[in-house]
Amino acid sequence: MARRPTTSDAFNAVAEPRRREILDLLAAGERPVNDLVVILGLAQPQVSKHLGVLRAVGLVTVRTSKQQRLYKLNADRLKPIHDWVRTFEPFWDNQLNRIKERAERKAQERASGRNATDKEP
Protein backbone atom coordinates (compact mmCIF):
# COMPACT_ATOMS: atom_id res chain seq x y z
CA MET A 1 0.00 0.00 0.00
CA ALA A 2 0.95 3.58 -0.45
CA ARG A 3 -0.38 6.81 0.90
CA ARG A 4 -4.11 7.30 0.94
CA PRO A 5 -5.35 8.78 -2.33
CA THR A 6 -6.07 12.47 -2.17
CA THR A 7 -9.55 11.67 -3.36
CA SER A 8 -10.30 9.37 -0.45
CA ASP A 9 -11.11 11.99 2.06
CA ALA A 10 -11.67 15.65 2.75
CA PHE A 11 -8.64 15.39 5.04
CA ASN A 12 -6.44 14.16 2.23
CA ALA A 13 -7.86 16.51 -0.36
CA VAL A 14 -7.26 19.48 1.87
CA ALA A 15 -3.72 18.56 2.77
CA GLU A 16 -2.61 20.29 -0.42
CA PRO A 17 -2.18 24.03 0.17
CA ARG A 18 -3.27 25.00 -3.32
CA ARG A 19 -6.52 23.20 -2.83
CA ARG A 20 -7.09 25.07 0.38
CA GLU A 21 -6.46 28.28 -1.49
CA ILE A 22 -9.01 27.28 -4.07
CA LEU A 23 -11.56 26.63 -1.37
CA ASP A 24 -10.75 29.98 0.19
CA LEU A 25 -11.42 31.68 -3.09
CA LEU A 26 -14.62 29.80 -3.69
CA ALA A 27 -15.83 30.85 -0.27
CA ALA A 28 -16.47 34.24 -1.82
CA GLY A 29 -18.70 32.74 -4.47
CA GLU A 30 -18.84 30.72 -7.65
CA ARG A 31 -15.94 31.09 -10.01
CA PRO A 32 -14.94 29.83 -13.44
CA VAL A 33 -11.70 27.91 -13.80
CA ASN A 34 -9.84 30.68 -15.50
CA ASP A 35 -10.43 33.06 -12.60
CA LEU A 36 -8.62 30.61 -10.37
CA VAL A 37 -5.85 30.16 -12.90
CA VAL A 38 -5.26 33.89 -12.99
CA ILE A 39 -5.56 34.51 -9.27
CA LEU A 40 -3.47 31.56 -8.19
CA GLY A 41 -0.91 31.97 -10.94
CA LEU A 42 -0.97 28.27 -11.70
CA ALA A 43 -1.09 26.48 -15.00
CA GLN A 44 -4.58 25.71 -16.18
CA PRO A 45 -4.22 21.92 -16.22
CA GLN A 46 -3.07 21.86 -12.61
CA VAL A 47 -6.04 23.92 -11.54
CA SER A 48 -8.38 21.60 -13.37
CA LYS A 49 -6.74 18.66 -11.69
CA HIS A 50 -7.01 20.20 -8.26
CA LEU A 51 -10.64 20.95 -8.92
CA GLY A 52 -11.08 17.36 -9.98
CA VAL A 53 -9.83 16.18 -6.62
CA LEU A 54 -12.05 18.61 -4.76
CA ARG A 55 -14.99 17.51 -6.83
CA ALA A 56 -14.23 13.85 -6.21
CA VAL A 57 -14.58 14.35 -2.46
CA GLY A 58 -17.59 16.58 -2.85
CA LEU A 59 -15.93 19.73 -1.61
CA VAL A 60 -17.01 21.59 -4.72
CA THR A 61 -19.75 21.28 -7.29
CA VAL A 62 -19.75 22.34 -10.91
CA ARG A 63 -22.26 24.01 -13.11
CA THR A 64 -21.88 24.76 -16.78
CA SER A 65 -22.74 28.24 -17.91
CA LYS A 66 -22.02 29.40 -21.41
CA GLN A 67 -18.57 28.11 -22.29
CA GLN A 68 -17.46 28.21 -18.68
CA ARG A 69 -17.61 25.79 -15.81
CA LEU A 70 -18.50 27.49 -12.57
CA TYR A 71 -17.18 25.84 -9.45
CA LYS A 72 -18.92 26.33 -6.16
CA LEU A 73 -17.88 25.52 -2.63
CA ASN A 74 -19.74 22.74 -0.85
CA ALA A 75 -18.62 23.51 2.67
CA ASP A 76 -20.62 20.74 4.29
CA ARG A 77 -17.87 18.35 3.40
CA LEU A 78 -15.49 20.28 5.61
CA LYS A 79 -17.59 19.57 8.64
CA PRO A 80 -15.91 16.25 9.47
CA ILE A 81 -12.60 18.06 9.72
CA HIS A 82 -14.11 20.74 11.87
CA ASP A 83 -15.83 18.21 14.08
CA TRP A 84 -12.65 16.26 14.57
CA VAL A 85 -10.36 19.16 15.28
CA ARG A 86 -12.94 20.76 17.55
CA THR A 87 -12.53 17.92 20.01
CA PHE A 88 -9.11 19.33 20.81
CA GLU A 89 -10.34 22.83 21.56
CA PRO A 90 -10.09 22.41 25.34
CA PHE A 91 -6.35 21.98 25.03
CA TRP A 92 -5.46 25.25 23.47
CA ASP A 93 -8.28 27.47 24.62
CA ASN A 94 -8.08 29.81 27.57
CA GLN A 95 -6.93 29.04 31.06
CA LEU A 96 -10.47 28.35 32.20
CA ASN A 97 -10.93 25.60 29.71
CA ARG A 98 -7.49 24.30 30.47
CA ILE A 99 -8.51 23.72 34.05
CA LYS A 100 -11.71 22.05 32.97
CA GLU A 101 -9.82 19.88 30.53
CA ARG A 102 -7.37 18.81 33.16
CA ALA A 103 -10.23 17.75 35.40
CA GLU A 104 -11.82 15.79 32.60
CA ARG A 105 -8.58 14.10 31.79
CA LYS A 106 -8.05 13.06 35.36
CA ALA A 107 -11.54 11.67 35.53
CA GLN A 108 -10.97 9.78 32.32
CA GLU A 109 -7.75 8.32 33.55
CA ARG A 110 -9.46 7.17 36.69
CA ALA A 111 -12.40 5.73 34.78
CA SER A 112 -10.38 3.87 32.19
CA GLY A 113 -8.59 1.97 34.91
CA ARG A 114 -5.02 0.95 35.30
CA ASN A 115 -2.72 0.68 32.30
CA ALA A 116 0.93 0.67 31.40
CA THR A 117 1.32 4.36 32.12
CA ASP A 118 0.49 3.86 35.75
CA LYS A 119 2.97 5.13 38.21
CA GLU A 120 4.45 2.71 40.66
CA PRO A 121 1.99 1.66 43.42
Partner DNA sequence: AAATCATATACCCTAATCGGAATATTGCAA
Partner DNA sequence: TTGCAATATTCCGATTAGGGTATATGATTT
In the complex, least distance from residue 53 CB atom to DNA, rounded to whole angstroms: 6
* Distance, CA of 58 to CA of 76 (rounded, Å): 9
* Distance, CA of 73 to CA of 55 (rounded, Å): 9
* Distance, CA of 99 to CA of 88 (rounded, Å): 14
3-state secondary structure of 71: strand
In the complex, least distance from residue 39 CB atom to a copy of itself, rounded to whole angstroms: 9
In the complex, least distance from residue 71 CB atom to a copy of itself, rounded to whole angstroms: 10
In the complex, least distance from residue 4 CB atom to a copy of itself, rounded to whole angstroms: 7
Q: Judged by CB, which is closer to DNA: 7, or 84?
A: 7
Which residues lie near DNA (CB under 7 A)?
1-7, 15-16, 18, 32-34, 37, 42-53, 62, 64, 66-69
Contact partner, 23, from DNA, a copy of itself, none, Cβ < 5-8 Å per class: a copy of itself
Contact partner, 52, from DNA, a copy of itself, none, Cβ < 5-8 Å per class: DNA
